[in-house]
Structure 1
Amino acid sequence: MKFLISVSPKRVALSLSIWVIFFAVAGCTVQVLRYGFNYRQRWISLFNLDSEINYPSWYSSFTLLFCGILLGIIAAAKKKQGDRYFRHWKALGFIFVFLSLDEILSLHEILIINDLRKALHLGGFFYFIWVIPGAIFVVVTAVAYLKFLLHLPLRTRNFFLLAGSIYVGGALGMEMVCGYYADVAGQRNLIYGLMASVEEILEMVGVLVFIYALLSYIGSHIENIDVRLKIVDNQQR
């Protein structure tokens, strides 16, 4: 028995766009309720874009993991074709799986060491000290993937660059801006809350664009993917 599952990149992107818009509106509304009207009911934390282990973070973690799965599928197909860049696809898949875990567990916050920041006299754009190793990682990755990007079809390359620019602009760019503001005015205010929400929204949009790019690439450049499920009785092994 064969099951055929058809996936439309446009429909997937449209569906995810609805969720992004919902979380964006809900997240900004939460900040206004918290700091504009001093509304402190516990349920609003479930939609706070600047918090972890809630609906927006679960959504982000799922979409990042979905990217990792799609990249793994492409890597497997490229390896079978003998493509020299299959390791790049595979490594990129692992990066997105890590980002998915980080979205839930906030692993990058381990690098936020207040004593180290004070010892190095860091502040302003480097108030959140993790942006320094984060920026280094982005630069190193960009250099390592330069030939890979040039090898991609023009349309796919443009979408990858667009997605990366939006995501990094949010994760690093807006984080640095938020750090500068936090150093000056603190984090418990409406302006900071809205800025942090914009950061998360940009990350969601970047991932959405990347998912569309990956699905479009699979549809145009990868032959039909045959997925089989085999159930083996332990007694027959």
Structure 2
Amino acid sequence: MIGRSDHLPTAPRPGDAVPPASEEVEVRIPARPLVFALALGVVLVIAAGLLGQLGPLLIPGFFHPEFSAGTNLYGEYNVPSAYNALLFLLATLLLWLTGRVARRRGDPFARTWTGLAGLSLFLTLDEYFALHDKLGAPIRELLGVGGVLYYAWVIPYGLLVLVVALLLVRFLRHLPPGLRTALLLAGGLYVMGALGLELFEARIEAGAGEAGLDRAAQVSMALLIGAEELLEMSALVLLIAALLGHLRRTAPGLALRLRLSGPDQ
């Protein structure tokens, strides 16, 4: 016969407060709907940005300065910059999770995934606060460049791309072919938009006189910026889709678990 022990739970008496039990909630986000929603967001952001910039130039009577400023694809602290930063943040999180999973699986390139997450976080801050644009004038004056290099920040960032590409050669060879192709395509699209089209935009900007860009140049600039942002955002969506697919294959049980508990727990 077992006697009463202070260590054993006793049944609550009538009127006693019952402490709320903690509950664990598992959250799973389907990959395909998420990628589709992100891609749709890209289309809407680009379309709104082009309308906001081309509307005053091509549509008679179109004058909505607040809309144009809020959707400006080349602006700061507005809808496009926030959405681009959101894509970068999601990519950063997935790269970090991939690194954690790779470490548990004994992958020798686990630190490379984590390093890519750090690089993605830097680019997130750079994109939202337009840090690279603030480097253009000082570097241009220092090096005395112009023309296609009028946006002189492309010089250090181009060197950064080359260094990162060289450091990732062994890492890319280690990856499965499908994932490697997706990462190379995403990287190529992003560099083509962020650096390649910037050279054409810089040439137009450098050729502007004291009166600024004429109407034709403004239209060309708006179209180039729209294409640039489309390439960059599409590259990020492709990267996110590739990482989600990789995580689904390497960590099929991965899920976000939230523990809900009472106020005193």
TM > 0.5 fold call: yes
Question: Which structure shows the higher helix fraction?
Answer: 1
CA offsets 1:103-159 (integer angstroms, 9 cap, x no match): 211111231125x42453311221100000010000000000111111111111111
**Match among 146, 153, 164 for residue 130 of structure 1:** 153
Structure 1 unaligned spans of 5+: none
Q: Where does residue 253 of structure 2 map in the other structure?
A: 224
Give, in whole Å, the separation in 1 of the partners of 2:99 and 2:27: 20
**Match among 224, 233, 244 for residue 204 of structure 1:** 233
Matched to 1:199, the amino acid is E
Matched to 1:205, the amino acid is S
CA contact (8 A) 1:71 1:90 kept: yes
CA contact (8 A) 1:20 1:204 kept: yes
- What percentage of residue pairs aligned between the two structures are identical? 31
Q: Within the alignment, does 1:10 sit opposite 2:39 as a pair?
A: no
How many aligned positions are there?
A: 235
Give, in whole Å, the separation in 2 of the partners of 1:207 and 1:187: 31
CA offsets 1:157-202 (integer angstroms, 9 cap, x no match): 1110111111111011111121112112455722112211211111
Give, in whole Å, the separation in 2 of the partners of 1:20 and 1:41: 22
Matches within 5 A, 1:27-176: 27-36=49-58, 37=60, 39=63, 41-113=65-137, 116-118=139-141, 120-176=143-199
Matched to 2:125, the amino acid is L
Secondary structure of the residue aligned to 1:3 is strand
CA contact (8 A) 1:50 1:196 kept: yes
CA contact (8 A) 1:187 1:193 kept: no
TM, length-normalised to structure 2 = 0.81
CA contact (8 A) 2:26 2:258 kept: no
- Specify which structure has the bigger relative contact order, considering alpha-carbon pairs within 8 angstroms and separated by 6 or more residues: 2
Give, in whole Å, the separation in 2 of the partners of 1:137 and 1:56: 25
Q: Within the alignment, does 1:23 sit opposite 2:45 as a pair?
A: yes
Matched to 1:74, the amino acid is T
Give, in whole Å, the separation in 2 of the partners of 1:157 and 1:2: 36
Give, in whole Å, the separation in 1 of the partners of 2:33 and 2:255: 22
Matched to 1:126, the amino acid is L
- Indicate how the Cα distance of structure 1 residues 192 and 88 shifts in structure 2: closer, same or farther if over 3 A, else same: same
CA RMSD after TM alignment: 2.3
Give, in whole Å, the separation in 2 of the partners of 1:34 and 1:40: 8
